Amino acid sequence: MARVLHDPPPMKGRVLVVDDDADAREALSEALREGGYAVETAADGFKGLGKLPDFGPDLVLTDLKMPGMDGLEFLRKIHSGRSDLAVIVTTAFADVETAVTALKEGAADYLTKPLDLTVLSVVVAREMDRVRLRREAGALRARLAERYSFSNLVGSSPGMQSVLKLLPQVAASKASLLITGEPGTGKELLATTIHEHSPRAKQPFLKLHCAALAEPLLESELFGHESGALPASLGRREGRLQQADGGTLFLDEIFAIPPALQVRLLRFLREHAFQRMGGEETLHVDVRVIAASDHDLREEIARGSFREDLFYQLNVVNIDLPPLRARPSDILTLAMHFLRKYGSEDGKTFEGFSDQALERLAGYEWPGNVRELENAIAHAVVLASGPRVTAMDLPPSVGPAPVGTAAVRIPGSKMEDIERHAILSTLEATRGSTTKAAEMLGMSVRTIQYRLQQYHSAPKNEPHLPAVLPSSVTSG
Ligand SMILES: Nc1ncnc2c1ncn2[C@@H]1O[C@H](COP(=O)(O)OP(=O)(O)OP(=O)(O)O)[C@@H](O)[C@H]1O
Ligand SMILES: [Mg+2]
């Protein structure tokens, strides 16, 4: 959050004192000013909130019992906006219960009134230190992330580090480049980044998805056509090669390009010249080609569907992006990157992830690779309220493969038995948390609790007892 400093920053930090009692406010601010802090005061939570943007305190000292917005409500409001602000609550008597609630809601500490000024100065100094450490850690993390990235392309794993190291040279060169990797590993992002850091950056970057168009259209998109060359279109049309002159053309899903076009593309790569469909004129353009494929082109060559000579022409430089499961150390780096990105879009600041959330992120296979991770974090940012993303904020699909499902033999099993098994084994996996189990199973907590009651009251040795007895059997 940007803040305007009207005078030189004080040595020891800024404290906002909020109390409805004017005498208490005065006494506190005097003690704090003497201690070397810059102090502002407010008479209740509303006025306190109003002072935050301009004063930009490092620490808030607030009374709990106040008319209007009380200390707890004020605390919640602060944490829904800025989460790096330390809040110490004060309370007129040893009202431990409210103080404990405040601690649970994220207060840094509480002090009982009448305040002992020595305790006050110790607690304030300690919290100021923590705030400073937290900020330094934040700055350090940002600097590390910078070191592990090339513009938006992030990666700290050895695999990604060697890709990042190559980038300046690859961007400077005009050689054709083939990027391979599973879906969602970042092929398109890599191609864009290379273009943006190349001498061609000011010229166009165009994309053509080779699997999306049938042959005559794909040919026309790539090379253009003269009027009358295509039945449905009138007039001459420029192709992407010509439009990208001076820049970069990204050919995505290159494995899908049909054989006749493979020959034409090969000729272009060798001679930098081509003709439009139905045209005689030879056009010369300066285009760097970057191709991408999530299919193994060598397999396509073996099957006879991809020309080997074209492969070598495209594959002058090859970058293979490993799947996310093969570079586990990138999971956290990327997760932090996306957390900052989506957090700042939503106006939320996060410290990171809870231990359980980290366990789930690290224990998952990520079949959809970085794209899936990005979506999971975007999802969590919407749900998360605290300074840390918890396991509950992540999509239910993210986590280690559920255990124990193999034990139920489906054919012939009754729905109730399957459900019972699913509920009990999920509860085992969540160590009894009905909330987590409900999320994993897509059921309501109430339904699970209701079922548990049923299981407890049902005789265990008769699992096939009909749920509803025929009315003739029930005694009246
Ligand atoms: N190393 C990375 N750092 C930051 N963001 C990344 C990284 N890798 C991928 N992403 C993000 O993940 C998403 C998927 O990446 P991208 O579209 O480049 O993958 P792809 O390999 O082209 O996928 P597909 O084969 O499905 O087309 C994008 O939003 C991209 O910005
Ligand atoms: Mg792509």
Indicate whether residue 370 lines ligand 1 (CB < 6 A). yes
Residue 65 tokens read as: 């019992």
Q: Which residue's CA is the closest to the ligand 1 atom numbered 15?
A: 186
Q: Counting ligands in written order, which one lies closest to the CA of residue 180?
A: 1
Question: Do both 356 and 262 map to the same domain?
Answer: no
Our CA dihedral for 223, 224, 226, 228, rounded to 10 degrees, sits at: 110
Ligand 1 center from residue 190 Cα (angstroms):
8
162-204 confidence digits (pLDDT tens): 999 999 999 999 999 999 999 999 999 999 999 999 999 999 9
Q: What is the pLDDT of residue 115?
A: 87
Q: Is residue 372 part of a domain?
A: yes
22-62 confidence digits (pLDDT tens): 999 999 999 999 999 999 999 999 999 999 888 889 999 99
Q: Which atom of ligand 1 is nearest to the CA of 191?
A: 18
Test site for ligand 1: of 162, 166, 188, most ligand atoms within 8 A of the Cβ: 188
377-411 confidence digits (pLDDT tens): 999 999 998 789 999 999 999 987 554 443 445 55
Indicate whether residue 152 lines ligand 1 (CB < 6 A). yes
Q: What is the pLDDT of residue 239?
A: 94
Question: Do both 434 and 377 map to the same domain?
Answer: no
Ligand 1 center from residue 301 Cα (angstroms):
26
pLDDT band of residue 2 (cuts 50, 70, 90) is very low
Number of domains making up the chain: 4
Write out the residue range of the structural domain in which residue 422 sits.
408-457
Q: Is residue 464 part of a domain?
A: no
d(Cα 152, Cα 192) in Å, to the nearest integer?
A: 10
For the chain, give the secondary structure using H, E and C. Answer: CCCCCCCCCCCCCEEEEECCCHHHHHHHHHHHHHCCCEEEEECCHHHHHHHHHHHCCCEEEEECCCCCCCHHHHHHHHHHHCCCCEEEEEECCCCHHHHHHHHHCCCCEEEECCCCHHHHHHHHHHHHHHHHHHHHHHHHHHHHHHHCEECCEECCCHHHHHHHHHHHHHHHCCCCEEEEECCCCCHHHHHHHHHHCCCCCCCCEEEEECCCCCHHHHHHHHHEECCCCCCCCCCCEECHHHHCCCCEEEEECHHHCCHHHHHHHHHHHHHCEECCECCCCCEECCCEEEEEECCCHHHHHHCCCCCHHHHHHHCCEEEEECCHHHCCHHHHHHHHHHHHHHHHHCCCCCCEECHHHHHHHHCCCCCCHHHHHHHHHHHHHHHCCCCEECHHHCCCCCCCCCCCHHHCCCCCCCHHHHHHHHHHHHHHHCCCCHHHHHHHHCCCHHHHHHHHHHHHHCCCCCCCCCCCCCCCCCCC
Question: Do both 259 and 356 map to the same domain?
Answer: no
Q: What is the pLDDT of residue 370?
A: 97
- Looking at 17-26, 300-309, 361-370, 434-443, which range is the least confident one? 434-443
Test site for ligand 1: of 370, 372, 374, 377, most ligand atoms within 8 A of the Cβ: 370
Cα atoms in the Cβ-side hemisphere of radius 13 Å centred on 124: 31
- Read off the CATH number of the domain in which 183 is found: 3.40.50.300
> 146 versus 221: which is more confidently predicted?
221
Q: Which residue's CA is the closest to the ligand 1 atom numbered 27?
A: 183
Q: What is the pLDDT of residue 426?
A: 82
Q: Report residues near ion ligand 2: CB below 5 Å.
A: 188
Indicate whether residue 111 lines ligand 1 (CB < 6 A). no
Q: Which atom of ligand 1 is nearest to the CA of 183?
A: 25
279-295 confidence digits (pLDDT tens): 999 999 999 999 999 98
**Which amino acid, 152?**
N
Q: Is residue 337 part of a domain?
A: yes
Q: What is the pLDDT of residue 404?
A: 42
Q: Which atom of ligand 1 is nearest to the CA of 152?
A: 4
Q: Counting ligands in written order, which one lies closest to the CA of residue 334?
A: 1
Ligand 2 center from residue 127 Cα (angstroms):
47
Mean pLDDT along residues 64-80: 88
Q: What is the pLDDT of residue 402?
A: 52
d(Cα 8, Cα 344) in Å, to the nearest integer?
A: 28
Indicate whether residue 371 lines ligand 1 (CB < 6 A). yes
- Which positions ≥6 away from 125 have C-beta within 8 Å? 12, 35
Q: Is residue 3 part of a domain?
A: no
Question: Do both 207 and 103 map to the same domain?
Answer: no
437-459 confidence digits (pLDDT tens): 888 888 888 888 888 877 766 54
Indicate whether residue 120 lines ligand 1 (CB < 6 A). no
Q: Counting ligands in written order, which one lies closest to the CA of residue 369?
A: 1
Are the C-beta atoms of residues 258 and 218 closer than 8 Å to each other? yes
pLDDT at 151 over 90: no
Indicate whether residue 186 lines ligand 1 (CB < 6 A). yes
Question: Do both 211 and 310 map to the same domain?
Answer: yes
Q: Which residue's CA is the closest to the ligand 1 atom numbered 7?
A: 186
| CA neighbor of 440 nearest in space, from 431, 411, 369 | 431
Q: Is residue 476 part of a domain?
A: no
Question: Do both 193 and 131 map to the same domain?
Answer: no
pLDDT band of residue 322 (cuts 50, 70, 90) is very high
Indicate whether residue 82 lines ligand 1 (CB < 6 A). no
Q: What is the pLDDT of residue 264?
A: 96
Question: Do both 312 and 344 map to the same domain?
Answer: no
Q: Is residue 1 part of a domain?
A: no
- Read off the CATH number of the domain in which 335 is found: 1.10.8.60
Average pLDDT, the chain: 85
Indicate whether residue 187 lines ligand 1 (CB < 6 A). yes
d(Cα 163, Cα 370) in Å, to the nearest integer?
A: 16
Of 304, 322, 340, which residue constitutes the final position of a domain? 322
What is the total residue count of the chain?
Answer: 476
Q: Counting ligands in written order, which one lies closest to the CA of residue 295?
A: 1
> Which strands, in side-by-side order, build the sheet including 205-209?
205-209, 248-252, 288-293, 177-181, 317-321
Ligand 2 center from residue 170 Cα (angstroms):
19
pLDDT at 67 over 60: yes
- Looking at 117-131, 356-370, 376-390, 460-474, which range is the least confident one? 460-474
Q: Which residue's CA is the closest to the ligand 1 atom numbered 28?
A: 371
Indicate whether residue 102 lines ligand 1 (CB < 6 A). no
Question: Do both 227 and 257 map to the same domain?
Answer: yes
Q: Which atom of ligand 1 is nearest to the CA of 252?
A: 27
Question: Do both 20 and 168 map to the same domain?
Answer: no
- Which positions ≥6 away from 78 have C-beta within 8 Å? 49, 52, 60, 85, 87
Q: Counting ligands in written order, which one lies closest to the CA of residue 149?
A: 1
- Read off the CATH number of the domain in which 86 is found: 3.40.50.2300
Of 322, 339, 357, which residue constitutes the final position of a domain? 322
Indicate whether residue 343 lines ligand 1 (CB < 6 A). no
Question: Do both 242 and 306 map to the same domain?
Answer: yes
Q: What is the pLDDT of residue 466?
A: 30
Ligand 1 center from residue 185 Cα (angstroms):
5
Q: Is residue 473 part of a domain?
A: no
pLDDT at 431 over 80: no
Q: Is residue 358 part of a domain?
A: yes
Question: Do both 160 and 279 map to the same domain?
Answer: yes
Q: What is the pLDDT of residue 276?
A: 94
Q: Counting ligands in written order, which one lies closest to the CA of residue 183?
A: 1
Test site for ligand 1: of 185, 253, 295, 339, most ligand atoms within 8 A of the Cβ: 185
- Using a pLDDT cut of 90, give the percent of the chain over it: 54
Indicate whether residue 367 lines ligand 1 (CB < 6 A). no
> 420 versus 302: which is more confidently predicted?
302
Question: Do both 282 and 421 map to the same domain?
Answer: no
